[in-house]
Structure 1
Amino acid sequence: MSAVSRRAKVPRAPTSADQILGAFSRVPPSPTLDHLIRYLGTWSGTDKVLMLTQYSSKLLIAFLSLQHRVRLRLLEGTKSYHAPHGGSPVAARLERLVALVSDARILFRIWGILPIVKWMIALERTPPPTRLLHNIERIQGWSMLIYCPLEAVAYLGMHSIVPLSASKQNLCWLWGSRMWALYVVLQLLHLVEDNRLLRLRARALERNRGHPVPSSSRSQSSSSTSTAVTSEKQNSAATLTEEQAETRSLWNELHDRKEAILNELWVNLGYLPLTVHWSHPTGLISEPWVGLFGTIAAVAGLRSGWKGTAAPIDVAPVS
């Protein structure tokens, strides 16, 4: 048995098949790939990537269409704005991609009412710190409870799964968008209150602990002191260092919260004109503007989700 074990441990000589089929043995592990898999493994991560694809494609369509029209005017010397075969072929393919991605995103949201119900149950058991935030989130939850079924019914009616006339479909889309717009406006108010509370916490922290100071600023001690006094000062310095580390951690937490509020602000500033546009029966802005605002919201949301799925950093204990 020992001879068999020794033979099993001898590495095999590489063959030409190993060079081809085992090509990935030369590829090192990638933390970025691991992070991407973690992010796309979440529902929000997949949705944000699809959202960025959808709205950035709208911007690219607008650019390609403009480029195509300019080329036609320069070549033909006329004011014609249409190509002989219906415009830029790349733009036409991108429009089909946008329609497909939009359809997929709505389908993935069709059971989105379930986490909303879970959120509203948890909201009453662990309410926010102020009554204003509590009521804002309550209204937001009810607006989403109305929005989700309206979007689902309109989507199923659009695909002739639910018998629904075109006018009723439009009505569902319209009122669903208005509920979404209400949610976005309330979220902006939520962020204002969040920022107010954050500033209060920062003032209290500055008053009680001050700002973090480098731990080496008080490392010097007088050489003329006795051994007992020196030992006492060293213990005091060690305690001070721990307090400084805790203070620095609290300030870092406030800084991260401030960044999260700012990022959430960009998300909702992107969503606000879109939801208002979709809440109007005839719309208010053109497709390039829809692409721009949607891209802003998608990039901000993707940034937040990417940061939230980062691998935890191992911090060595302070000795």
Structure 2
Amino acid sequence: MPSKLSLSPFALPSPGLAHFNRVAGSQSGQDKLFMVYQYAAYVAVAALTSKRFGNKARADLALRIEKLRATISDARTLYRLFGLFPIIAWAQSLNDPATQPKDKQHLLINKLQAWSMMAYYPLEHLYYLAGKGVFKISPARIGKIAVWSCRFWAAYVVLQIFHIRRSFQLLGEERTRVVRAARERVRTGSATSDELQREKADLQRLAAQEKSLKNDCWVQAGYLPLTAHWSLPGGLLPNNAWVGVCGTVAAVAGLNGVWKRTA
């Protein structure tokens, strides 16, 4: 049998390596892989430069880790320069009865999220390019634009928390309907094997959706303090180590979601 994950070119085809290639080959997967390093690097640098564990060799290593982190951070921002266009397409789909969410609360939340992202992306593009000298804007002005950009991102995160909460409510209601219908058919003796199999499949689908929502909870749990931190001129978190911890939580949970979707 082929191994689950083999990096040897002389081994049989590896399903694990094929899965990793699917993740790394997708735009979302690449971004999450880079994100894991970007935020974990903050924690590593803090540890390597601490008074307790730091020394000259570790300080040199921390400097090299930080340089790669900065490069990755810059690249991730650059790759988002076209991020506004999918948001516009998503916003347009929310106006189409065939593709918009059937639940009115979900629809309202999604529309508010679309507006928040349509404000976030242009502001991020503006402060990023201004920081590179493309636009002539004072450093103080760039800082204000960056803060407002993050505030719109924070608004999206808060709205996503409400979206998750509503999704849990709808899943609970649907699960209750499926279970009640199954019990009623069993009680009246009208249940067929096909119906029971279909109800079992429905419950498995609902369980998978609930698991995905729980994973999204971890993503937003990492993003919420980060966006709040960057939305305040003086910040919220005490140091970059905490930025790294929160970002790593969001990155790992996000990567886990991409990994499962590409299984």
TM superposition score normalised by structure 2: 0.90
Q: Distance in 2 between matches of 1:257 and 1:49?
A: 23
Q: CA deviation at 1:135?
A: 1.1
Q: Does 1:105 align with 2:82?
A: no
Q: Does 1:307 align with 2:245?
A: no
Matched residue, 1:46: 30
**Cα shift readout 1:42-63 (whole Å, capped 9, x = no counterpart):** 1111000000010111111111
Matched residue, 2:93: 122
Matched residue, 1:70: 52
Matched residue, 1:168: 141
Task: Report the AA paired with residue 251 of structure 1.
Answer: L
Q: Distance in 1 between matches of 2:107 and 2:194?
A: 36
Matched residue, 2:132: 159
SS in 1 for 2:81: coil
Q: Does 1:144 align with 2:144?
A: no
Task: Report the AA paired with residue 258 of structure 2.
Answer: G
Greater Cα offset, 126-135 or 136-145: 126-135
Kept in 1, the 8 Å contact 2:38–2:73? The answer is yes
- Aligned pairs (5 A) from 1:17-32: 24=9, 26-32=10-16
Q: Distance in 2 between matches of 1:137 and 1:169?
A: 29
SS in 2 for 1:132: helix
Q: Distance in 2 between matches of 1:111 and 1:275?
A: 21
Residues 87 and 164 of structure 1, relative CA distance in 2, 3 Å threshold: farther
**Cα shift readout 1:168-187 (whole Å, capped 9, x = no counterpart):** 21111100000000000000
- Identity among equivalent positions (%) equals 37
Matched residue, 2:196: 244
SS in 1 for 2:135: coil
SS in 2 for 1:124: coil
Q: Does 1:204 align with 2:177?
A: yes
Residues 71 and 244 of structure 1, relative CA distance in 2, 3 Å threshold: closer
Match of 2:232 among 280, 297, 307: 280
Match of 2:153 among 180, 193, 206: 180
SS in 2 for 1:184: helix
Match of 2:65 among 94, 112, 124: 94
SS in 1 for 2:52: helix
Q: CA deviation at 1:242?
A: 2.5
Q: Distance in 1 between matches of 2:231 and 2:109?
A: 21
Q: Distance in 1 between matches of 2:113 and 2:32?
A: 21
Task: Report the AA paired with residue 259 of structure 1.
Answer: K
Q: Distance in 2 between matches of 1:86 and 1:154?
A: 36
Matched residue, 1:294: 247
Residues 209 and 170 of structure 1, relative CA distance in 2, 3 Å threshold: same
Matched residue, 1:75: none
Q: CA deviation at 1:38?
A: 1.2
Q: Does 1:264 align with 2:224?
A: no
Higher-Rg member (1/2): 1
Residues 272 and 55 of structure 1, relative CA distance in 2, 3 Å threshold: same
The runs of 5 or more residues in structure 2 that have no matched partner are 1-7
Kept in 1, the 8 Å contact 2:43–2:245? The answer is yes
Q: Distance in 1 between matches of 2:69 and 2:30?
A: 15
Q: Distance in 1 between matches of 2:87 and 2:21?
A: 25
Residues 210 and 108 of structure 1, relative CA distance in 2, 3 Å threshold: farther
Residues 241 and 53 of structure 1, relative CA distance in 2, 3 Å threshold: same
TM superposition score normalised by structure 1: 0.74
Matched residue, 1:133: 106
Runs of 4+ more than 4 Å apart: none
Task: Report the AA paired with residue 70 of structure 1.
Answer: R
